Structure 1
């Protein structure tokens, strides 16, 4: 039996709530570029997650919800948008033919994030994971060209898919409202104490730059 949208959202939030106690602050240098999936997300806003919440915590939830939207749009496309579905099938076949696919089968907390860390000025990488993936893509033959009429029809179907995705997203935002208290409680219990401990440690190190033996 096909799961309802409400059931899928409930299960996604439950999975995120089980994961949050395992979250720890990242110790590596943060990225400069904002995450387009999380920045200004109406889903995260509906869930009551503040913009100053650590990105890893936000991303774990937004990615799980995005998977629900993607699945709903995929079903809608398969039923109603044959040209777009054909293009997606061709692209999927190309992706399966790639020799190196590092972005597949990632946990929700890492899905959609950059594959490589930010480069350090003056210390270039010998190679990057993203670069290796791009090299594999260049080995594939190009997709067959489309006529102007086919391009116009494809753009129309893409617009319909986007409209459907927005509709599903709005419905999910409404469903997220009922989870706000549990989500905020989980952040207060498992995330905020770790942030406060980090700030306290930083404050202590700034107040006492030298140890007692250095005086």
Structure 2
């Protein structure tokens, strides 16, 4: 497992570094709620991406690493946890039957993010993407209920899957430590100059809050 994870993590970092030059600072309203995937993530800590790094930069890497962990857990589940695999298969079939699946097929930089922007007070949305997705989901019949014995057995298998995910996550974090230098070099080359430019523009606007042309026109 170590050798395979080493290759996958290296490839994920490579892909993230290829994407990094395309990153640009967000200009829309920030979100109030922190990203559940990135906030306090040990993966980001291992990669050296602290709170001073923009969330979009963090999310692109954390999502790629999560895919590696998810893939490893999926393989382990299919080979060792038959009841959990059956439930996952049923859920996957149910998801495929939905008529509207806006969260599927997204690039890693957008995967897992809220589908709708934060609402503006006093200006409600006529509709939301997440609302339409919920409507499509409500049209699909629910999965049949499980017996108490089946629920207990399923909880045990879920616990085993969680334990395996934690083990793989620790391995991945250890591997990421070896990529810290090139991750930080990428941030220094492509991210920090853009942040410095934004701060410089903000400083100039604070030093001169009014457009000099307004004074001349007056």
TM-score by length of 2: 0.96
Give unmatched runs, 5+ long, in structure 2. none
**What corresponds to 1:18 in structure 2?**
18
**What corresponds to 2:158 in structure 1?**
158
- Distance (Å, rounded) in 2 between the aligned partners of 1:139 and 1:212: 59
**What corresponds to 2:123 in structure 1?**
123
Q: State the aligned residue count.
A: 213
Deviation at 1:51, TM superposition (A): 1.4
Give RMSD over aligned pairs: 0.8
Deviation at 1:213, TM superposition (A): 2.4
- Distance (Å, rounded) in 1 between the aligned partners of 2:119 and 2:34: 16
Deviation at 1:212, TM superposition (A): 1.8
Give unmatched runs, 5+ long, in structure 1. none
Q: Does 1:66 align with 2:66?
A: yes
Deviation at 1:203, TM superposition (A): 1.1
- Distance (Å, rounded) in 2 between the aligned partners of 1:101 and 1:214: 50
After the TM superposition, which parts of structure 1 deviate over 6 Å for at least 4 consecutive aligned residues? none
Deviations 1:112-160 (A, max 9, x none): 0000000000000000000000000000111101111111110110000
**What corresponds to 1:214 in structure 2?**
214
- Distance (Å, rounded) in 1 between the aligned partners of 2:212 and 2:5: 59
- Distance (Å, rounded) in 2 between the aligned partners of 1:213 and 1:33: 40
- Distance (Å, rounded) in 2 between the aligned partners of 1:200 and 1:210: 16
- Tell me the SS of whatever aligns to 2:49: coil
**What corresponds to 2:55 in structure 1?**
55
- Distance (Å, rounded) in 1 between the aligned partners of 2:39 and 2:54: 12
Deviations 1:16-60 (A, max 9, x none): 000111100011111111001001111111111111210000000
- Distance (Å, rounded) in 2 between the aligned partners of 1:4 and 1:21: 27
Deviations 1:156-184 (A, max 9, x none): 10000000000000000110011000000
